[in-house]
Structure 1
């Protein structure tokens, strides 16, 4: 059999690409290692649920408040107006997406990507079967690499795929009580504290009967497990049973090129599409999977490998400005505890709260209330230049 496309990786990006292509009538193979659960806070916005037909049945919790915590312990609670943040557990969510892709017609393969071979203008993807441990060869017209940060497909096939910057994320899934200590099952806590992470943040995200507690950093030498233990202690969750421990790299910047100009395109974490500052990845992974599928569909229809460039073009058209704004915020406020203190202070502003969550829920930079934008800009400059105290609200 000659496949139209082999998708490597069965996370949100790969499963979405495989499902879209299969529903379009293409011959699709979906290769996934299985058994690997990515460390992830699990937050998804209502916009994702609308765009990708995700029902409430996939949610383990609905969050109505976000708490931002500063290095000094000051905090601001931000109500999520006119909506919620949905929480999923990746151990269940990813298999659901893979099963949905298979139901749409994608053929499942379980194993580990090894390489791409080319013979007389024919493309073959080679993987090692999980059960037999033998090499399997799949002939295909195109390949979508959705195999995560430090993607083997990207490193082997796409320029720049071996140099993408990343942070290391680590979390522990714990058996969480209904409410204890500083923990509330309807509230996400985001901790901006150099003792937890010198360059990113820590989190306490409820997952219904469980909770994800973790942090990320790109600084060498940080003890991720010790930082997470301290975070659990701060939240009053130190005595809760630990169910799982997971760690993985999280990319920091979209790659400049997503395809090899011939037969391979990468999407999701493999293309670096995790939002700066927030670390949000599920929505952008699924969006990347969708535009990757659209690009491959265009290439199959036209016979032009150059159409693979459409994946990055479509993604950046819709999300470049969001990524730029979030990167600017991370560069400005994550460099020191004094700056983190100022950032949490800025979050007290009601306009900051509303504009932030309007943009998050709808995945676009909101253009409403221009006077609010001006006021926020003035406050931002005042904090960054030290004209106001970091304790100012």
Structure 2
């Protein structure tokens, strides 16, 4: 059977793209290395309100109970110096799901409109003058005029097409986490998420995400720091982190070491180029992750949707060259580009040992509007420009006054 397009990777980016193109009438082949869905997927599993607005069918399967969801209305935020502040609102700040259930729901929808092959791991991708050729580890060959690579942070498609080439330690974080049911591990506040912004010299934070029946908690850090400080000791560090949370009174019970997982997350922003002749990259494969919060589900689905739009237009024109597919990069830059670029800036400004993170949280403790904007930006409900503008208005007078006092020899 011939196909109009191949999608590699059945996670949120690939399933969204396949579903959208299949509904539009394209002949889509969706390949995934998992032998079956649901498949295990470690992840914090937070959905923003804007994701539900952008993809109404997600709201439908959450409201129907197909995917259990815990609406979160509070956030406990702790700075490196242990200053803690709590934010709450009437509407949900975030919707927590288990990724294996959520991904399976997206995959089922794609499966209904396209051809699916499970248990296929790609080892070679080659762009030819008239098509893209893929070879599986079993030696099976797949071809199509165009391809969407949505095959995770370790994307074979990105590497084999030359779109990802920088040193991995500069681009990735490592998330060390477990997802354990409440019979073993409990949290003090099931209606809140906890964020611990504890690393001061490099990007990193701890978190607690309570699901409907399970507790997800872990610690993320840049890969270079992990390789320097935690190589071979990830599980031990995680167990120690759980003990720290118990001492704080945030959790009770015992960690389940069999549920420990560590996985890479790209946190340096989208790749410089996310397209080439006959190939587009979406989701983690293209680096579509918020570098400040490490949230990737919304950006995965948005990039998958925009990639689908670009392929459908290419099919209409029967052109799959770089010039034609460059429309994809312009599209994601318009919708999510500023978000992702600013998230990298914030990561570099706050996780640098300057004490800015402590100052920000301390100020937010006494400034409800600043706190609202910090949480709103983190959860995708406030724009970077709003947060930056407010921070400038609220902090510049203090800074100017401090400089004036220093100039005339007064103590600050």
Deviations 1:92-112 (A, max 9, x none): 111211111011234334310
What secondary structure does 1:2 align onto? coil
Matched, 1:335 2:349: no
Residue number among 288, 294, 299 corresponding to 2:309 in the alignment: 294
Q: Which residue of 2 aligns with 1:281?
A: 296
Question: Does structure 1 residue 312 correspond to structure 2 residue 343?
Answer: no
Q: Paired residue for 2:278?
A: 263
Name structure 2 gaps, 5 residues minimum.
406-412
2:219 matches 1:207: no
Q: Take 1:37 and 1:380, find their aligned partners in 2: how far apart are those partners?
A: 50
SS of residue in 1 equivalent to 2:361: helix
- Kept after mapping to 2: 8 A contact 1:2/1:138: no
Partners of 1:380 and 1:257 lie apart in 2 by: 42
1:51 to 54, 72, 97: 54
- On the 8 A contact 1:194/1:337 being kept in 2, the answer is no
Aligned to 1:40: 43
Q: Which has the higher helix share?
A: 2
Gap change, CA 1:105 and 1:363, over 3 Å in 2: farther
Are 1:324 and 2:331 counterparts? Answer: no
- Distance in 2 of aligned mates of 1:25 and 1:136: 26
Cross-structure match for 1:131: none
Which of 369-378 and 241-250 deviates more? 369-378
- Say if 2:210 is the partner of 1:192: no
Question: What is the distance in 2 between the residues matched to 1:282 and 1:381?
Answer: 38
Aligned to 1:221: 228
Contact kept in structure 1, 2:147 and 2:278, CA below 8 Å: yes
How has the CA–CA distance of structure 1 residues 318 and 136 changed in structure 2, closer, same or farther, with 3 Å as cutoff?
same
Instruction: State the 1:29 CA deviation.
Output: 0.7
Aligned to 1:350: 368
In structure 2, the residue matched to 1:247 is 262
Instruction: Report the Cα distance in structure 2 between the residues aligned to 1:106 and 1:372, rounded to whole angstroms.
Output: 50
The CA deviation string for residues 278-306 of structure 1, in whole angstroms up to 9 with x for no partner, is 11100000001001111111111112222
Deviation at 1:366, TM superposition (A): 6.9
1:177 deviates by 5.9
Q: Which residue of 2 aligns with 1:107?
A: 116
Indicate whether 1:126 and 2:135 are aligned.
yes
Aligned partners of 1:112 and 1:127 also within 8 Å:
yes
2:148 aligned to 136, 144, 148, which one? 144
Q: 1:145 to 1:342 in 2, by over 3 A?
A: same
What SS class does the counterpart of residue 273 from structure 2 fall into? coil
| TM-score scaled by length of structure 1 | 0.86
Following the alignment from structure 1 to structure 2, what is the Cα–Cα distance between the partners of residues 340 and 359?
15
Q: Which residue in the other structure is 1:22 paired with?
A: 22
Deviation for aligned residue 1:119: 6.1
Change (3 A) 1:23 1:194: same
Note if 1:72 corresponds to 2:81: yes
- 8 Å Cα contact 2:7/2:28 also seen in 1: yes
Pairwise CA RMSD of aligned residues?
A: 2.9
| Secondary structure in 1 matching 2:229 | coil
Q: Structure 1 residue 175 and structure 2 residue 181: aligned? A: yes
Residue 320 (structure 1) shift: 2.3
Q: 1:209 to 1:376 in 2, by over 3 A?
A: farther
Checking the alignment, whether the CA contact within 8 Å between 1:232 and 1:238 is kept in structure 2 is no
Q: Which residue pairs with 2:410 in the alignment?
A: none
Are the counterparts in 1 of residues 130 and 145 from structure 2 also a CA contact under 8 Å?
Answer: no
User: Could you tell me whether the CA contact under 8 Å between 2:181 and 2:213 is conserved in 1?
Assistant: yes
Q: d(CA) in 2 for partners of 1:61 and 1:379?
A: 41
Change (3 A) 1:372 1:82: farther
In 2 relative to 1, CA 175–368 (structure 1 residues): closer, same or farther, beyond 3 Å?
same
Q: Bigger shift: 269-278 or 299-308?
A: 299-308
- Confirm whether residue 88 of structure 1 aligns to residue 106 of structure 2: no
Change (3 A) 1:372 1:116: closer
